[in-house]
Amino acid sequence: MNMPRRPILTLAVLALSFPAAAQSGSTSAGTYGAGTPGKGGFVPRAWIRGQPSVGSTTFKLALDQALGGATAGMFLGVRPADLPFLDLRLLVDLSSGAFGPFVFGLGGTAGTAGAGSLELPVAIPGTTSLVGTTLYFQWLVADSAATSGLVGSNGLRVTISPSPLVFAGGSGLIEYVPGASSTTAGPALRNIYDMHFDRTGTMGLVCSTSTVVLYDMQSPARTVLATAAMGQTVNCLAVHPAGDRAYVVLPDRTNPKIDILDIDRNSTNFGKVIGTISGLPSTGLGDMEGVSLSADGRVLAVAVLGLIGTKGVLIIDVDPTSTTRDTYVKSLPVSIGSFCTDADISPDGKTVYVCSGNLGPGSAVGRIDVASGVLLNSASAGDFAVDIDLDPLGRFLIVACPNSKLLTHVDLTPGANFFKATNLPATTSRFFSVALTPDGSQAIAIGDGSGTSDLFGFDMTTLTTAWSVSNSVSGGAIAVR
């Protein structure tokens, strides 16, 4: 079916003329709010294909799991919402700076539940001033199974970013532009433990020994914006979806902390510690090992390895609207494996995924209910799983398993294969870190130097190696925009 393109292109240019509004995600795309089920219980799903970067001609807005052959209307605006409308939730603020509905016919066999889909090309202007601009989308789909005759998709947030880039490090820092034949040297820094981009992709946050270095990722020289001296060894950090702060994990036998670092460039406290998590246990946290923050900005999850204390996951309230914000809530037990090596939390903060290594061969991946602490599912993974990343749409997990030189894919799609683990092809590199592209289409992993340190990209549809490039810098951390 040929879909009209000019209206959406004109719409994109017009909408991008508005200033960036509320920020609700730490990557360039994310979902928010709940869609409503239609025929067969299917909930229309809004997502992206490709990277929403300036100058992109391959970016697409996508919709699937809708009624086959149905009519769908798309709204977009510069602010999110969550308002009752008929028997669904309206997730785009239509009061100002909003456009739509733009009406399209869906593909798929007419009347078939869940068969309706659409991929809509959207060319993004090559104007660097658009970087950081955020737009919000929702689809409403005609479906006679709903009382009102309409069902809604989830909300979709898209933040315009600079061009795609892989930023990785360990013994040093490297950069890789997808499609290039080799990596290039990054800023001069060693002993890299963790690294992230901010929500806009314009700032790189790098943990090195006892500091967090903030880089301007738009300047060719990668100018240092600030260096935060944390006073003790930094293991990892997580960027809050609001884009104004990062939570820095500082494991220690006698003084474990999770400090709050101001990363708002417009703040007078930029690059400074502005607080700390209260109520943390005073002992047993000398080996806090991994951290994740829910996409809704409410829950922080921290993995505790268990070599010193009891392995588990710390749950922390970081909800900006909460009266107990930045307070430790509880610890969840991890009953699989010898060590809890990493944790990643679902977008709504209700489920935490963990990977766990053993002293001997093998390791496991688990799914834990945050409210009850119950282990819901588990599966075997490659040898000694150390890093876990959750697909932004919640379709799968990808796990780095260095001892077997591969990644493990865990299916989260409802059905017969739910929580089924599949090992990807073995490589020459022992992967200690893995990160997904913003649309979840590829997993990118770097070797630690035992074997090779090469950088690999894996296709998450076919679960095969998509590309690899040589690299001489051993890597234990990676960030992708």
Provide the CB-side half-sphere exposure for 428 (13 A, CA): 13
Say which DSSP state 9 is in: H
Average pLDDT, the chain: 91
Whether the per-residue pLDDT at 53 is higher than 90: the answer is: yes
| Rounded distance between C-alpha atoms, residue 385 and residue 399, angstroms | 6
pLDDT at site 472: 80
| Rounded distance between C-alpha atoms, residue 354 and residue 399, angstroms | 10
Joined tokens for residue 134:
């955020």
The fraction of the chain above a pLDDT of 90, given in percent, is 83
**Verdict on whether the full-model pTM lies above 0.85:** yes
Domains of the chain in sequence order: 6-159 (2.60.40), 166-480 (2.130.10.10)
Whether the per-residue pLDDT at 393 is higher than 80: the answer is: yes
Task: Name the band, by pLDDT with cuts 50, 70 and 90, for residue 21.
Answer: very low
Whether the per-residue pLDDT at 453 is higher than 80: the answer is: no
Spatial neighbors of 3 by CB under 8 A, at least 6 apart, are 104, 105, 118, 120
Task: Name the band, by pLDDT with cuts 50, 70 and 90, for residue 113.
Answer: very high
Tell which phi-psi region holds residue 376, choosing left (phi > 0), alpha (psi between -120 and 50) or beta: alpha
The fraction of the chain above a pLDDT of 70, given in percent, is 94
Task: Name the band, by pLDDT with cuts 50, 70 and 90, for residue 1.
Answer: very low
Q: What is the pLDDT of residues 131-156, one digit of tens each?
A: 999 999 999 999 999 999 999 999 99
* CA 9, chain centre distance (Å): 27
pLDDT at site 2: 34
Q: What is the pLDDT of residues 223-253, one digit of tens each?
A: 999 999 999 999 999 999 889 999 999 999 9
Whether the per-residue pLDDT at 20 is higher than 50: the answer is: no
Whether the per-residue pLDDT at 366 is higher than 80: the answer is: yes
pLDDT at site 98: 84
* CA 258, chain centre distance (Å): 21
Q: Where are the alpha helices (DSSP H) in 338-408?
A: none
pLDDT at site 451: 66
Query: 3-state class of 263 per DSSP?
Result: coil
Whether the per-residue pLDDT at 3 is higher than 60: the answer is: no
Q: What is the pLDDT of residues 163-219, one digit of tens each?
A: 999 999 998 999 999 999 999 999 999 999 999 999 889 999 999 999 999 999 999
Whether the per-residue pLDDT at 7 is higher than 90: the answer is: no
Average pLDDT over residues 350-370: 92
Q: What is the tally of helices (H) and strands (E) in the chain?
A: 1, 39
Q: What is the pLDDT of residues 458-471, one digit of tens each?
A: 999 999 999 999 88
Average pLDDT over residues 473-481: 89
